[in-house]
Amino acid sequence: MPAPGALAPIDWVDAADRPINTVSRGEVFERRAGFRVVHVFVFNSQGEMLVQQLGRHRDRNPLKWGSSVAGYLNAGEDYPDGAARRLREELGLTTPLAKFGSVVMLDNSARKFITLFLTTASHATVAEPNHIESLRFEPVLQIQDWMLRSPDDFTETFRFLFRFYLSTLNLMAEAG
């Protein structure tokens, strides 16, 4: 099943991430609506992270690298269900998901609520060829170095979320 189109309804959420209305995906930025997305970082047994290169015909961020999986939540959908759905739709995976954390960022003056999930898989396949150009596993330190050298190779959301991931891991390590 492909990703929902621009006319698909999603929840418009308030500053506390509570649904207050619905809005079409295509109107989110124009209306500056708060909205929900999920991201999944997929790791292999060597600890390498799967990164996804977005399709060349995408409206936003064509050919940029981003999270293993990312997607809007459908109206009425919760974060775990949305993450499982997009993992299945994008990569054909049904692996167990663990919530890592939630964060908010501004995206074109709209408040984007992001919940990040983690999972492991030995391989992944492109299940949405119009959505995904390519996939590859990379060591986390190599992604960090690549991002420092060429930040524009990555989506703004992935740069934000990758920093959130690394800083949260560092805080967890310091807390012991």
What domains does the chain contain, in order, with CATH numbers?
A: 9-175 (3.90.79.10)
The token pair at 116 is 């990040």
Per-position DSSP letters for the chain, written without gaps between them: -PPP-TT-EEEEE-TTS-EEEEEEGGGHHHHT-BEEEEEEEEE-TTSPEEEEEEPTT-SSSTT-EE-SEEEEPPTT--HHHHHHHHHHHHH------EEEEEEEEEETTEEEEEEEEEEE-S----S-TTTEEEEEEE-HHHHHHHHHH-GGGB-HHHHHHHHHHHHHHHHHHHH-
Nearest Cα to Cα of residue 2 among 72, 67, 98: 72
What is the pTM (predicted TM-score) of this model?
0.94
Cβ-contact 100, 41 below 8 angstroms: yes
Tens of pLDDT along the chain (176 residues) come to 455 678 889 999 999 999 999 999 889 999 999 999 999 999 999 999 999 999 999 888 999 999 999 999 999 999 999 999 999 999 999 999 999 999 999 998 889 999 999 999 998 999 988 889 999 999 999 999 999 999 999 999 999 999 999 999 888 788 87
